[in-house]
Amino acid sequence: MDERTPDQRAARALWPLFETVHAVTYFAPQSSAAAADLGLEGFWAGYVVLRSAPLGPVHPAVVRAAFHGFAGRRIEKVLPGAWAVVTPEQAVEARAQAAGAALRAAYPDAEAAAAAAEAVEDAAGELDVAGRVLAAANASLPRREDAYERLWQATTTLREHRGDGHVAALVAADVTPVESHLLKVAAGESPEESLRLGRAWDDERWSAGVRRLRERGWTDEAGALTDAGRAARADVERRTDAAAAGPWRALGQERTARVAALLRPVADAVVASGWVPFPNPVGLPWPPPAVA
């Protein structure tokens, strides 16, 4: 039985749409080229700098805390050294222009993109960012002029808002970064190697996470979720949906459905581009559930 409220169910249904549109900043060739043009070498340098840029040149520990899932060495290999190559302001500008160019290439209907941008901006405007560092940093950025860039920035603000809430739910459940990845692997959402290697966890930390989940009774000897593990993970996801429900509650059912209707063809176009891999480290599913 689904005990979530309608706005919590909407939060779950809308997530794959705005997450997929946001994801061009990681996977689209335009974004990779923009990072290289800034002098950032390799995928992870671009990821760390472009995602953290709205925070400003903060200590690497702050970025690690905000991102939650990464080992310290993944962040410290990039920051603060990258700020001698590029400023946060330059990175913010480059990522928006690149993401906008990617969306324009994937979905060349400019009029529909502008309508989607306005609808998603309305949702992002309803966010309460208290206690949500990445969401607040993105929400505080100046409004873009280009419709595609506005669309990407609004989806990004929604994405980071949901992510901040998810991190809070994990912390409240005493789930460490490694354990959060292992739960995704056990649930069949994401491939283990891409999470362990991409997030730069060493064998010792990874194995410690495996042991702790087993000791908590959340996984069995084969690493599969137990009934207790499924219940614990479902509780984290319910809390994440509840924490992300605010904008959809504020918009109401009709306006929420309109956001979904306008955003779906853009997300479909991104999926059709082949840029975003499925399965992926985010655990992003496709197709998304219908918005009730």
The tens digit of pLDDT for each residue in 167-192 reads 999 999 999 999 999 999 999 999 99
> What's the DSSP call for residue 277?
-
Q: What is the pLDDT of residues 46-88, one digit of tens each?
A: 999 999 999 999 999 999 999 999 999 999 999 999 999 999 9
pLDDT of res. 2: 67
Total-model pTM: 0.96
Whose CA is closest to 274, among 4, 20, 101, 58?
20
- Identify the pLDDT of residue 1: 55
Tokens of 64: 């690690």
Average pLDDT over residues 207-229: 97
The one-letter code for the residue type at 201 is W
CA distance 27 to 220: 34
pLDDT of residue 4: 79
d(C-alpha 90, C-alpha 279), whole Å: 32
Hey, what are 170's tokens?
A: 């994990």
